[in-house]
Amino acid sequence: MKRLFLSYAVLSMFVLFAPYRAFSGETLPRYISIGTHPVGAYFNTVGTAAAKIISDHTKMKGIPKPMAGPTAWLPYMERGDIGLGVLNVWDAEKAYLGESIYKNLSKGKAFSVGLICVTTQNLGGLVVAKDSGIKSYADLKGKKVGGNFPTPSLQAQVNAYLANGNVKWSEVTPIPVNSVTEGVKVVMDGRADASGTIALGTGAIAELDAKKGARILPIDVSKEAMARTRKFHPGRPVKVKPSPSNVGILEEQYLWAYDIYLIAGNKVSEEAVYQITKALWENYKEFEKVHYLLKDWNQNTFVTDDPAIPYHPGAVRFYKEKGLWTKQLDQVQQKLLQEKPKGK
């Protein structure tokens, strides 16, 4: 019995950490791992939905791999142990160009990645307890704010939100957190007045709401505030309204929105990415079964005319078949390919 248990444990570890690369004699890989943020984060939900579609509608088995974020899983992708990944536009661009933290993380070589599709836009902000008296980012002066994230893009978002309220880091007390869910937990525990960045619809907001009530702070959409915000993180304001699903939204307001990418490492074959893109495209209506917010991930979001990184050749092949690959997009693709520093 002990030997049987050990064999099962070894098999389970093999499946969990199995690389996406094809086994001998196979055209497509049997398993393809998808790097995501930790369980509970919206990015993990996106990766879980993609894995389900891949498993249900291709000959490959998608396996979500929750980690601390792209800084944790991108090195595994570069050496071929993770095939796909879910990350935001900021991380994707910096990883592709080998900038910011990704310069040292890639040992100066940058990461060889390609875009499969834009999934949804992330609506984010900082969340506070409902009765805290904090109703805007400007109100955070002198308060304790979750931050100092190990993932640079998360910290860039916090910087952007503070800048939106014209608040400097020197004017708040930073409370170090390791993940978006921990950022909400420090508010629940009373260790901070405001969370680190968090996405609308994340389960942790509902937990805070049940315990203390939750309020997601609104974005100031004035021209000056927008300019300050965009210095730290790309995005756009989107209007949201209170609803049972929009926990933390107490009145009509604006949140900051930015694109979430599904990418592939360059070691994933063109055929594999083509099949994955095709499956996601044809079965997009199943995304909502995983999470209601994924209803916004549909065929209208897959292709953007302003990608931050080039599309993977397998995705390009599919979009050309669908007549979605425009002359303008091809010009953007070529420009992005040329922008990657030589030797990277």
**pLDDT digit string (tens) for 203-233?**
899 999 999 999 999 999 999 999 999 999 9
Return the percentage of the chain with pLDDT > 90, whole number: 80
Give the span between the Cα atoms of 98 and 104, in whole angstroms: 8
Instruction: Let me know the angle formed at the C-alpha of 322 by 331 and 262, rounded to the nearest 5 degrees.
Output: 70
Q: What is the DSSP letter of 172?
A: S
pLDDT, tens only, 174-195: 999 998 899 999 999 999 999 9
**Residue 48: per-residue pLDDT:** 97
Look at residue 125 and tell me whether its pLDDT is greater than 70: yes
Give the span between the Cα atoms of 188 and 203, in whole angstroms: 13
Alpha-carbon radius of gyration of the chain: 20
Cβ distance 202 to 181 under 8 Å? yes
Q: What is the DSSP letter of 275?
A: H
Return the percentage of the chain with pLDDT > 70, whole number: 91
Cβ distance 158 to 247 under 8 Å? no
Give the span between the Cα atoms of 291 and 331, in whole angstroms: 35
Query: Count of CB atoms within 10 A of residue 330's CB?
Result: 13
Tell me the domains of the chain and their CATH numbers. Answer: 18-121+259-339 (3.40.190.10), 124-258 (3.40.190.10)
- For the full predicted model, state whether its pTM sits above 0.85: no
pLDDT, tens only, 38-94: 888 889 999 999 999 999 999 999 999 999 889 999 999 999 999 999 999 999 999
**Residue 60: per-residue pLDDT:** 98
Q: CA of 225: how far to CAs of 36, 181, 196, in Å?
A: 31, 27, 19
Q: Spell out the alpha helix ranges (H) of 87-176.
A: 89-97, 101-105, 152-164
Q: Which amino acid makes up residue 147?
A: G
Q: Is residue 190 helix, strand or coil?
A: coil
**Residue 11: per-residue pLDDT:** 35
Mean pLDDT on 164-169: 96
Q: Is residue 337 helix, strand or coil?
A: helix
